[in-house]
């Protein structure tokens, strides 16, 4: 391992960039261990991949612990800028070989820039709902790809955030973070037990809409306007349990044709979400 100095990019801090080529370096071992939930939980950190995503995360105020980039990126203006910002925030900067990047990301063609960030979850008690807010609550979601896709869809639809109820997949797993395509940094996440969610929902009094295969209400007929809405989605295998279904003001169904028993959870969430926010989404105000 060797070290060299990085430009300050006006931050006034000069840091030591560590050059690492060995997989047995303890810093690299530590970063590789972030593929395990136990290590993510212990350190309260997670890994995100891609230059744009890392820049967006820093701009959105996420705390960066370590910036890691391929040697080929040395001297690139954007990389130098985020290296300087990382130092300014007390983080580490590592310049590594392709072999090390491949080992960390467990991918043949890894992104040239990756970073370790601190996890961020919002407490349920601080969620204050307002008219036209839409939250998505997921009961015991198991599939990381589904969760990542739902977080991305919430971002695209302008939803306020995602409440994870009960024992769910880790939102900071590499697979979930990848599937969010960067939206992990834009969508507030909350974790809650079923009983805490039920007490919060009774007090906050949103329009709690359960999405249920046996729902008696067509999801397109629900009055979503001018009130806070929470869309409650069931687990991939078991659907919504009675304890949660009973608390819903409406149990909505998406009519289906054909032979499929149900829709995939992420697809069903997307269909419900875009209907609930239809009156708030306008092509006159296109995404940048």
Task: Give me the residues that bind ligand SAM (CB under 6 A), please.
Answer: 211-213, 215, 233-234, 236-237, 239-240, 253-254, 256, 262-263, 265, 268
> What is the smallest separation between the CB atom of 165 and ligand SAM, expressed in angstroms?
12
Contact predicate 113/77, CB 8 Å: no
- CB 182 within 8 Å of CB 56: yes
Q: Which is nearer to ligand SAM, 195 or 262 (CB)?
A: 262
Best CA proximity match to 276, nearest among 214, 232, 213: 232
Which is it for strands 161-165 and 113-118: parallel, antiparallel or unpaired?
unpaired
Minimum CB–partner distance for residue 140 and ligand SAM (Å): 10
Q: For residues 56 and 115, is the Cβ–Cβ distance under 8 A?
A: no
CA separation for the pair 105, 88 (Å, rounded) = 25
Nearest distance, CB of residue 25 and ligand SAM, angstroms: 43
Complex with ligand SAM: residue 87 or 219, whichever CB lies closer: 219
* Alpha helix segments (H runs only) across 107-237: 144-157, 174-180, 194-204
Q: Which CB sits closer to ligand SAM, 82 or 240?
A: 240
Nearest approach in angstroms of CB 158 to ligand SAM is 21
- Name the residue nearer to ligand SAM (CB basis): 121 or 238: 238
User: Residue 5 or 246: which CB sits closer to ligand SAM?
Assistant: 246
Q: How far is the CB of 127 from ligand SAM (least distance, A)?
A: 21
Dihedral over Cα of 102, 108, 112, 117: its sign = negative
């Amino acid at each position: 391992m060797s070290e060299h100095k990085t430009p300050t990019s006006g931050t006034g801090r000069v840091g030591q960039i560590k050059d690492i080529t060995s997989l047995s370096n303890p810093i690299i071992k530590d970063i590789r261990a972030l593929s395990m939930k136990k290590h993510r939980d212990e350190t309260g950190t997670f890994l995100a991949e891609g230059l744009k995503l890392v820049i967006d995360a820093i701009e959105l105020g996420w705390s960066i612990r370590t910036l890691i980039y391929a040697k080929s990126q040395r001297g690139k203006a954007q990389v130098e800028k985020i290296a300087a910002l990382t130092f300014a925030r007390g983080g580490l900067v590592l310049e590594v070989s392709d072999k090390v990047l491949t080992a960390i990301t467990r991918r043949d063609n890894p992104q040239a820039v990756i970073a370790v960030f601190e996890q961020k979850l919002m407490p349920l008690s601080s969620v204050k709902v307002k008219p036209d807010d839409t939250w998505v609550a997921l009961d015991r979601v198991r599939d990381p790809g589904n969760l990542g896709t739902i977080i991305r869809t919430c971002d695209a639809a302008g939803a306020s955030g995602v409440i994870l109820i009960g024992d769910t997949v880790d939102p900071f797993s590499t697979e979930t973070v990848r599937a969010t395509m960067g939206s992990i940094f834009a969508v507030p996440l909350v974790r809650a037990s079923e009983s805490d969610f039920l007490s919060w929902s009774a007090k906050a009094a949103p329009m709690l809409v359960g999405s249920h295969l046996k729902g008696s209400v067509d999801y397109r007929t629900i009055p979503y306007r001018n009130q806070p809405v929470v869309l409650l989605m069931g687990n991939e295998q078991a659907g919504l349990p009675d304890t949660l279904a009973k608390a819903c003001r409406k149990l909505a169904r998406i009519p289906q044709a054909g032979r499929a028993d149900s829709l995939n959870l992420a697809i069903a969430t997307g269909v419900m979400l875009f209907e609930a926010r239809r009156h708030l989404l306008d092509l006159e105000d296109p995404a940048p």
